[in-house]
Amino acid sequence: MHYSFKKWSYNQSLLDRKLEEETEQAKINTKLSEQELQKQLNEKIKEMSKSEQTRLKTKNEKEMAKIDTKNLDLMRIRYLIEEKVNQTLLVIGYPKKTYSPLVKSIKLLEESGIYDKNTTNLILYVISICNKAIHAHKITAKQHALVMDLSEKLLFMLEETLENAKRRLNAKRRLNAKRRLNAKRRLNAKRRLNAKRRLKN
């Protein structure tokens, strides 16, 4: 996968500004909705008897145990994909607070030159099936087998992209450090030369 720091640098400031604005508004909305939701839940629970709470808890535990393992496998795959995407965003300079929904993050990495079009399409295809598992759709054996096969190759590719991004970033940092050191040496050499000239005069 081709990684262009120049292209990323060009896009980053505009993308950062847009993400920051959206993130701040989302944080405000989330905080308000969480407070209201917590208040509503507390009121609802107070209306229930202890026996009713126990009955519902037992029922929920039984229903959790009945979740199809194929769905659970695909949920885990989606988790791993999002983890790799978020780690890559962090490496190229996006702080965690600016992370956006998964599909938007993937598009962001494509726009920044991290993922190519084919990689983006493959990730989105796998995620589309994984999302069905999350949203309680029945997953067929064929869908499960396909995702398990594709995800093994995809996760390897995403890990490779992440490592390449780390290497390129480290190389850029070393180059910048070397440039700063050389500039400092030239400055010191110039100062010594000027001092020597003043002594002669």
Residue 164 domain boundaries: 5-174
User: Is 91 within a domain?
Assistant: yes
CA–CA distance, 38 with 73 (Å, rounded to integer): 31
Domain contains 138: yes
Query: Whole-model pTM?
Result: 0.62
**Length of the chain counted residue by residue:** 201
Give CA–CA dist 129/181, Å, rounded: 51
Let me know if residue 201 belongs to a domain: no
195 domain residue, yes or no: no
- Sequential DSSP letters for 56-112: HHHHHHHHHHTS-HHHHHHHHHHHHHHHHHHHHHHHTT--GGG---HHHHHHHHHHT
Element of type H or E holding 136: none
- Whether 196 maps to a domain, the answer reads no
Is 13 within a domain?
yes
How many domains does the chain divide into?
A: 1
| Domain annotation covers residue 33 | yes
Domain-located, residue 189: no
pLDDT tens digit at each of 201 positions of the chain: 454 555 555 555 555 566 566 666 666 566 657 777 777 777 777 777 777 777 777 777 777 777 899 999 999 999 999 999 999 988 888 766 655 788 888 988 898 888 999 999 999 999 999 999 999 899 999 999 999 999 989 999 999 999 988 887 777 777 878 888 888 888 888 888 887 777 776
